[in-house]
Structure 1
Amino acid sequence: MDRPPQSKEFQMVLQEISKLLELSENEISGGRLMEACQCLLKANSLDQSNLTVFTKLGHCYLLLGNYELCYTCYYKVLQEGSGPTVEEAWYGLGELYMKQQKFTNAEAAFKTVLGLNPNFEMTSAIYLKLAIIYKKLGNTHKAISFFKASSQYRDLLPNQLNELLIQLGSCFELVGNKKSASELFVEAVKLNKNTRNIVCLAWIFVKNARFDKAQTLLFKASKLTQNESKEYHDIQFILALSHFKNKKFTDCGKILMNLLALYPNEPYYLACYGILEENMNKYASALHYLWRAATIIPDRHDILMSISMIYEKIGYINEAVFMYMRIIEMFSNNEQAKTRLRECQTGQRMPLGELDIIYIDISEFPFHRTIEPVSNPQFQQDISIPKPIYSLFSMNGFNNNINTQLPVINLPQKRPSDMVFEDIKY
């Protein structure tokens, strides 16, 4: 901007930009994202060096799902700015990486915000997001610590508190603390009787073998949805798993087959139908469905372990050995794969029982929402035992184009709280 800073023209431009920024905030609050974007683009045309405008544009493009332009705006701010605008850009970049499921990058961005300003106004939300990231990265105990840290702040919005309750409950389920998980899901239902919260509570009843109670809740949840929605069908999926856990395999199979007719590429449906088939000694069919699931979500060690153990059961020892070796390469801490590999190589194999359902992160309900139903379902019935797909596995690396020295972040000091988290142990 070439105008002298004290000129009348300069002051008029600043006032106009301020009005446009305020107007864009109002448009965003009203859900009018395109209108907000137009306001910000007009502000940008008045002063292309205004980094506050670029930051807000980044936020707007993020909400619109234009990740390329969002990143461009944030990057400009990080390269040229300082102070609060940079902090806000780093926060936005963390949100962007989370939407792209680049969790390592998102962790770095959020930690950078706290390193620049430990008193950042969205600190409670950052701790919540870091907790979700650690959960996604498999560090459940660290996730629990950060969820509890976030709970000490009193500025969480109702939707953020709801997310904290559901995610923390899911963590406790993962570490085997069903009692604490149940308490948190009950708190979530008290806060908001929405479909997701009710399904989460029903899931804990399934895990505790309280099938009638679970099915009553699932029926209530289904009444809150549209009959042909993915959400509705995922409730039916949880009902099928309730039947599986209750050893009602016929009822479970009927539901899963109907779901797969509509969603033949839903990996959870595929994997769990494969597990059901294995429990009924239909090993060829089980492998067929599990392999199909693995091609869609190749980084699930429990699906790969299920495939490996079926190969071992039916005497395909070379295939089982290959699979165990590949799992260990991908997941170096998988002790089960190491044990099975050693037993296969020494010939002293312990007998294998029936497979259990793969891990379902109930906090992700409804699952894999980007998968569309087929309009004219023609479910594929031909079953064959596939050979190992050597080119199947690929680990997605994260490329962070912005280098930063990451600070060490300590948890905030515990604050008085009357919330349920204080009584929960793990």
Structure 2
Amino acid sequence: MKFEVAHPVNARLLKFATLLCLSLLVAACSEDKALPAKASAETAAPAAAESLNKSPEPPEPAAAEQSTAAPDPFPAPGKPEQPASSPPAVPAPASSEEVQPLQNYMDAVHGDRKGDLIFSAKQDLDLDGYDEIVLGYGDLDEAEPQYSVVSELYVLRDMDGEVVELAHDPGGGYQKLGFKLIRLQDLPQTFIYCGLTNGGGMSGFEVQEVSGNQVLDKVYSASPTGTGEDEILDTNNDGQLDTYMQYRNDYNTFNYALNRTYEMESGEFVLQATKVEIPEYPQEIKEVILQYLSLTVLEVEQSPETEERLARLWTGSAGTAAAAEDLGGWREALEGYHSEIRFDIKEKGPEAEASLSYTDGNKQKEEHAMQLHLVKGAAGWQIDGLELIPGQGSVQ
């Protein structure tokens, strides 16, 4: 067999041509696969860099969950209670074994519940480790829910599942409304507040506290005569009530307008000031006597203007001045019934003698009397002597 040796140059060209074709073929295949990956990498890189430099945002709450969330059946102090027109709702139990807590407490109430559930709250009021539950029943005022009157109030305690009744207020007296849980200045426990009204010209309030196994009055402020305005205030806007005020102007105050201010001191409300609206100094002897007797019987405390007026009306020695307890029997005659007091006044120059008497309303018809001596000075008529005469027995 005969072998022909190829020319060296031709062999190299052939080899080079073959390698070039193979390289082009491989490059074409690689480019088809690499181009998408390269594009993907170029797109992903800026996004990854941006996510590293950007803080994660919290997920937005689902609108559906917000709209269907059940209201808190037991609002805490400072959190608005459910309006009376919408009694507190309790979330449906997750299983048949769970019970609705509010209904559980309602079932524990003894006696007949009257009307609608107007108010409910659950909290450890006295900080003993057990929650108290407050339930108020009454007549729902759909037009003005805030004026719904609570006719029965229950205070319960949940002792690890055992529900104990601490108090049941069946109502009576002034109407109760506007129940809420409150804090008093610098006291750790929580209190029960309610407004008081007679449906007319009187407004007051009551604050109750849980003490041991009892519910006691911490503060009760309401006029016994059915007229007056009392309110409790948070004067420093720290969420704790620290002051309450009383306004009186009726026959029980002899129609003097009184404003009393009480402030918290060492856990109790203490009278700080009484503002009395006293008219101009009287000019007639009868009016001088009546003003002196009425201001003395009132026993107004912490009132500089009252002390000043009494000092002008009475110029006698301090030891001979009448005290409120001495005039106790005269109060009924002074309370708008001045016509029942009989006056006999004898004026002689700058001096005058006055005899007063009245007959009490009991069966004995006992007569009471006093003698007064007055002098007239630059300030007008003033009393410098008073003598109470013991009862004269029955008057026929």
- After TM superposition, the score normalised by the length of structure 2 is 0.22
Greater Rg over alpha carbons, structure: 2
Quick check: which one's strand share is greater? 2
Bigger RCO (CA 8 Å, 6+ sep): 1
- After TM superposition, the score normalised by the length of structure 1 is 0.21
Quick check: which one's helix share is greater? 1
